[in-house]
Amino acid sequence: MVKTQFFDLLEAHGSTADDLYALLKESLRLNKIRSTNLVGFSSDTTNVMVGKYHSVFSLLKEEFPHIVCVRCSCHMAHLAISKACLKLPRHDEDLLRNIASHFNRSALRRTQFQEFQDFFNVEIHKILSPSITRWSIRELEQYAPLESY
């Protein structure tokens, strides 16, 4: 079974590739995870983590030649969030899309809505169409003015 999930968050006392690699290996050992099950590695893109020469990934690659490096963890988070959002009810997405269309097609409606944003003392910004990652927290602050509008 292939399983992808957040594994661990550790406090490091050293900052070299060797220190971090040892910490990773110890965490795998303590959690009884066979390192032979590792197929990929993702982290920030600093040299100590994924650099070509003597990084955590290069040390992993020496021990596990099959392992792959996924350099952009933000992209992976985006993909995970996108998949999770597919579990939301379709009618919620339709509502968000209809609200965005309502305002995007009329300058008068945007101006009227701006008055509600002023009244509710929220940041004035354009209502965005939901994308694959849906609305952000910034758009959710518009709930009260939208409801009153």
Please report, for the chain, the start and end positions of each structural domain, with discontinuous segments joined by +: 17-71, 89-148
If one compares 48 and 132, the residue with the highest pLDDT of the two is 48
Report the share of the chain in percent with pLDDT over 70. 91
* Structure confidence by residue, pLDDT tens digits, 39-90: 888 887 789 999 989 999 999 999 999 999 887 767 667 777 777 777 878 8
Report the share of the chain in percent with pLDDT over 90. 37
Alpha carbons 50 and 48: distance in angstroms, whole number: 6
* Structure confidence by residue, pLDDT tens digits, 88-98: 788 877 887 88
CB atoms within 10 A of CB 115: 11
Residue 16 is which amino acid?
A: T
Alpha carbons 81 and 65: distance in angstroms, whole number: 30
pTM above threshold 0.95: no
Q: Which of 74, 82, 2 has the alpha carbon at shortest distance from 42?
A: 74
Question: What is the distance, to the nearest Å, from the Cα of residue 137 to the centroid of all Cα atoms in its chain?
Answer: 13
Statement: residue 134 has pLDDT above 50: no
40 near 67, Cβ under 8 Å?
yes
Residue 138 has what pLDDT? 57
Residue 27 has what pLDDT? 93
Residue 99 has what pLDDT? 87
Statement: residue 141 has pLDDT above 60: yes
Q: Which of 61, 64, 142, 31 has the alpha carbon at shortest distance from 96?
A: 142
Statement: residue 139 has pLDDT above 70: no
